[in-house]
């Protein structure tokens, strides 16, 4: 194919056991805006990081102007004219616009003199070039988010960028600011710049993009011209596969309401006015896009960022939770999203990780009983089929899925009444994934109330007895079990469900 500015061929990338990209091909023409679309975890960020040189692909080819680039590093990518504008601009807030642009563009060494006049003129010229009315003297801190993005774009063009990647640039912009950004994007397209545009907002893709590529599970599902598509068709492509029968069925009827939230808000976490009931033996799935406030809701429930208004009820009794300690004492358990950072202590043995939340009950008189601790660990290693050399093995020696089971065991040992799971199978291999699903279902069967956050749509649909969809910090719809994937996705995107 000729005329391609950027061409990726069969690019693969794995992180440990997880295959993030399974042979993705992608092309970008000069003077084109190419949208990249996909669920959370579909592989968009990995693909971008490969293009910008932040990650090295395991296999595959990257060509620019038909020439193989070889191994990319962030520096080489920049020299080849690739620039990425992130949602949060990566500028130095205390330096002026001119200084930021100067730092980005000059190849000065530490001892070369700074020509301030030239820097100011350069900044002025670059900003004028894209029609941005920003003073080169202004401190970055004093600029609005879109103004900062304009500075980024000016930098990118000043560096001779011909491939500009925009990663959810409008996420924090107002409508007016979005229009300004679009005008500039169209202007760049006219000048022959190729742009990769990532957004969850479908309407933007129809307004702006020429072509759209949908990624799903690390594979490219297809590239189409935007004018040949409609929103329903795109959503279908994104969610794709049917939910297969691999999920364990719900065999029990949920019992009494165990846990409720009433007008629950946490300003600091951006959670507002959430009302929700979870019954004994029920799994409520919490769906939504990244940034919808799901993790923030979980953290507010667990007292990490305590709620500032609303009520929390446990078995009909109002409870106050100001810290994780209170939550643990009340029988609420939270298995957080980022297992490596928040789930287990890597250098501690499995057994010690498992008893960490139950010292008061398990070791009355605070004298540690190593025998009892070991037996408890052996029990969980057997029940959850954790693959480990023994209870004394450090958590760091386990695979991701088994670490997740250790984190789960810690909370099961605490015998909670409510279990909040945040992305329980993220970064876990397929085998461990279905085991974790089986464990969660059997916990519910034993009467636990489970609130499960997941960005994996099939998981939400396959596991949940009810699905709460969050958007902009609140629950916007409550869907029944076995809802269609595109219905959930449409609700998360804030669209009318396709075909309704």
User: Which residues contact another protein by CB under 8 A?
Assistant: 302, 304, 323-325, 327-329, 334, 336, 341-348, 352, 356-357, 359-360, 363, 366-368, 410
Min separation Cβ 346 and another protein, Å = 8
Nearer to another protein by Cβ, of 217 and 296: the residue is 296
Nearer to another protein by Cβ, of 234 and 406: the residue is 406
Nearer to another protein by Cβ, of 94 and 347: the residue is 347
Q: What is the DSSP string of 376-433?
A: HHHHHHHHTT---S-TTSBGGGS-HHHHHHHHHHHHHHT--SEEEEESTTTT--HHHH
Show the tokens assigned to 443.
């916990």
Min separation Cβ 475 and another protein, Å = 24
Min separation Cβ 328 and another protein, Å = 4
Greatest Cα pair distance in the chain: 76
Min separation Cβ 299 and another protein, Å = 10
CB atoms near residue 133 (< 10 Å)? 8
Q: What's the Cα-to-Cα distance from 74 to each of 53, 56, 64, 84, 286, rounded to whole Å? A: 4, 10, 15, 10, 37
Identify whether the C-beta of residue 81 lies closer than 8 Å to the C-beta of residue 162: yes
Q: Which residue has the tokens 């916007």?
A: 476
CB atoms near residue 476 (< 10 Å)? 15
Q: What is the DSSP string of 455-474?
A: S-HHHHHHH-SEEEEEETTE
Nearer to another protein by Cβ, of 141 and 325: the residue is 325
Nearer to another protein by Cβ, of 262 and 374: the residue is 374
Nearer to another protein by Cβ, of 127 and 344: the residue is 344
Min separation Cβ 149 and another protein, Å = 32
Helix (H, G, I), strand (E, B) or coil at 315: coil
Nearer to another protein by Cβ, of 235 and 335: the residue is 335
Min separation Cβ 392 and another protein, Å = 9
Report the alpha-carbon angle 8-12-18, nearest 5.
Answer: 150
Nearer to another protein by Cβ, of 111 and 367: the residue is 367
Could you tell me which residues are beta bridge partners of residue 271?
Answer: 266
Min separation Cβ 370 and another protein, Å = 8
CB atoms near residue 169 (< 10 Å)? 26
Helix (H, G, I), strand (E, B) or coil at 476: strand
Identify whether the C-beta of residue 360 lies closer than 8 Å to the C-beta of residue 446: no
Nearer to another protein by Cβ, of 7 and 352: the residue is 352
Q: How far, in Å, CA of 232 to CA of 303, rounded?
A: 39
* Helical (H) or strand (E) element with 310: strand 309-314
Nearer to another protein by Cβ, of 125 and 342: the residue is 342
For residue 215, which of 232, 237, 185 has the smallest C-alpha distance? 237
Nearer to another protein by Cβ, of 207 and 389: the residue is 389
Residues ≥6 apart with Cβ < 8 Å to 84: 48, 51, 52, 164, 165, 166, 167
Nearer to another protein by Cβ, of 113 and 341: the residue is 341
Q: How far, in Å, CA of 123 to CA of 136, rounded?
A: 6
Q: How far, in Å, CA of 228 to CA of 232, rounded?
A: 12
Min separation Cβ 123 and another protein, Å = 36
Min separation Cβ 357 and another protein, Å = 4
Identify whether the C-beta of residue 414 lies closer than 8 Å to the C-beta of residue 354: no
Alpha carbon 34 to its chain centroid, in Å, reads 21
Min separation Cβ 330 and another protein, Å = 11
Q: What is the DSSP string of 141-154?
A: GGS-HHHHHHHHHH
Min separation Cβ 127 and another protein, Å = 39
Min separation Cβ 410 and another protein, Å = 7
């Amino acid at each position: 194919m000729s005329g391609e500015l950027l061409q990726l061929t069969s690019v693969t990338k794995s992180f440990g056991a997880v295959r993030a990209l399974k042979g993705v091909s992608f092309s970008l023409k000069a003077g084109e805006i190419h949208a990249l679309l996909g669920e959370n975890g579909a592989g968009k960020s990995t693909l971008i990081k490969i293009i910008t040189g932040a990650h090295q692909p395991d296999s595959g080819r990257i060509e620019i102007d038909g020439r193989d680039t070889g191994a990319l590093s962030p520096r080489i990518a920049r020299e080849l004219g690739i620039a990425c504008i992130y949602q949060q601009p990566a500028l130095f807030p205390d330096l002026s616009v001119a200084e930021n642009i100067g730092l980005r563009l000059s190849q000065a060494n530490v001892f070369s003199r700074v020509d301030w006049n030239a820097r100011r003129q350069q900044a002025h010229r670059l900003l004028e070039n894209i029609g941005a009315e920003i003073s080169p003297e202004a401190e970055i801190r004093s600029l609005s988010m879109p103004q900062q993005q304009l500075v980024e774009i000016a930098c990118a063009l000043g560096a001779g960028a011909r491939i500009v990647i925009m990663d959810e640039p409008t996420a924090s912009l107002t409508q007016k600011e979005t229009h300004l950004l679009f005008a500039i994007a169209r202007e760049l397209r006219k000048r022959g710049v190729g742009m990769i545009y990532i957004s969850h907002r479908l309407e933007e893709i129809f307004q702006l993009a020429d072509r759209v590529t949908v990624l799903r599970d690390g594979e490219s599902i297809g590239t189409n011209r935007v004018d040949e598509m409609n929103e329903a068709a795109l959503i279908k492509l994104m969610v794709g596969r049917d939910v297969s029968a691999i999920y364990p069925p719900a065999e029990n009827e949920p019992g009494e309401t165990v846990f409720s939230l009433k007008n629950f808000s946490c300003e600091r976490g951006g959670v507002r006015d959430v009302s929700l009931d979870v019954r004994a033996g029920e799994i409520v799935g919490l769906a939504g896009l990244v940034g919808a406030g799901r993790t923030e809701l979980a953290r507010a429930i667990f007292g990490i960022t305590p709620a500032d208004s609303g009520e929390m009820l446990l078995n009909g009794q109002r409870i106050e939770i100001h810290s994780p300690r209170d939550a643990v004492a009340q029988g609420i358990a939270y298995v957080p999203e980022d297992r490596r950072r928040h789930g287990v202590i890597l250098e501690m043995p499995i057994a010690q990780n498992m008893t960490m939340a139950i010292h008061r009950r398990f070791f009355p008189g605070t004298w540690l009983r190593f025998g009892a601790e070991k037996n408890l660990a052996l029990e969980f290693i057997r029940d959850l089929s954790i693959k480990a050399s023994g209870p004394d093995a450090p958590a760091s020696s386990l695979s991701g899925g088994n670490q997740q089971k250790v984190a789960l065991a810690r909370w099961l040992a605490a015998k909670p009444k409510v279990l909040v799971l945040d992305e329980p199978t993220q970064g876990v291999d397929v085998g461990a994934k279905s085991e974790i699903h089986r464990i969660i279902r059997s916990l519910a069967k034993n009467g636990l109330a489970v609130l499960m956050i997941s960005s994996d749509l099939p998981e939400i649909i396959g596991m949940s007895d009810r699905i709460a969809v969050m958007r902009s910090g609140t629950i916007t719809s409550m869907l029944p079990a076995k809802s269609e994937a595109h219905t959930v996705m449409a609700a998360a995107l804030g669209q009318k469900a396709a075909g309704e």
